[in-house]
Homo-oligomer: A and B are copies of this chain.
């Protein structure tokens, strides 16, 4: 089982039941977790350090203890694209068994658990219930990618920025004060915009009272309805 797997998991693999029904492994889960902890080794990375590079052998995966990670790719002419951000509790790096197709980098200082792929596979063979977790994880990844496809394909700059803020709020489960660990450049490359456009849109939102920006890495949502109205799918 589990020879190759998804790009990453925007959710709490092994520590929390999947959001949608199914009631997985209520009993076994903790045991698995303990087993996993012993398989993993703690690593830390400084800001902008490369956790793995495009082209590396994909022989391990990671779970974030603290910090934020970006999954990204540099095009030949220097254009950069960020496929995903992962936060504390998320898993990432479960990509195909061959080479990495994206790089993973630390957005700020990051601490992760590193898991050997082969060892994990053995564990999963013993406890097939874990396979179900993996599938759920990949499903969520896929659903999220689909949402982003719509965003990048059909949304205007203000809609993208509004979506981004609401997504941040939802992931961190806060209603008002957002911590924004990534730079404006990261946000731009995530939303398919330029840094200037991101700034301008944020400034416009600040001007009309939708948000407040006490400092660049902290944004407060003052008028959530306005944000939601901006997205309006």
> Does A142 lie within 8 Å of B138, measured CB to CB?
yes
The verdict on A214 contacting chain B, using a C-beta distance below 8 Å, is no
Q: Across the two chains, which residue of chain B brings its CB closest to A73?
A: B150
Q: Is A101 an interface residue (CB 8 A)?
A: yes
Instruction: Give the CA-CA distance A204 to B102 in the complex, in Å.
Output: 32
Whether A153 contacts B192 in the complex (CB less than 8 A), given A135-B131, A142-B138, comes out as yes
Q: Contact between A21 and B7 (Cβ–Cβ < 8 Å)? A: no
Minimum CB–CB distance for A148 against chain B, Å: 6
Contact of A152 among B77, B128, B134, B153 (CB under 8 A): B153
A20 CA / B4 CA spacing, docked (Å):
9
Other-chain residue from B80, B135, B143, B148 in contact with A134 (beta carbon distance below 8 A): B135
**Number of copies of this chain that the complex holds:** 2
Contact between B4 and A142, CB atoms less than 8 A apart = no
- Output the least CB separation between A120 and chain B (Å): 14
Contact of A142 with B7 at beta-carbon distance under 8 Å, contacts A152-B152, A154-B81 already known: yes
Q: How far is the CA of A79 from the CA of B128 in the complex (A)?
A: 43
How many A residues have CB within 8 A of the partner chain?
48
Known: A128-B128, A131-B135. A142 touches B6 (CB 8 A): yes
Task: Give chain A interface residues in 97-129, CB to chain B under 8 Å.
Answer: 97-98, 101-102, 128
Q: Are A97 and B21 in contact (CB under 8 A)?
A: yes
With both chains docked as a complex, state the minimum distance between the C-beta of A22 and any C-beta of chain B, in angstroms. Answer: 5
A34 smallest CB distance to B (angstroms): 24
A96 to chain B: closest CB distance in Å? Answer: 6
Known contacts A20-B96, A131-B1, A131-B131; is-contact A83 B146 (Cβ 8 Å): yes
Which one, B3, B76, B141, contacts A232 given CB within 8 A?
Answer: B76
Q: Please give me the 10 A-B residue pairs with the lowest Cβ-Cβ distance, nearest first.
A: A153-B192, A152-B152, A145-B145, A152-B153, A81-B154, A81-B150, A3-B22, A138-B138, A6-B142, A79-B154
25 A-B pairs in the complex with CB atoms less than 8 angstroms apart: A1-B135, A4-B136, A7-B142, A21-B97, A75-B150, A75-B233, A81-B150, A81-B153, A83-B146, A83-B149, A101-B146, A102-B146, A128-B128, A138-B139, A138-B142, A142-B142, A142-B145, A145-B149, A149-B149, A152-B152, A152-B153, A152-B192, A153-B189, A153-B191, A153-B192
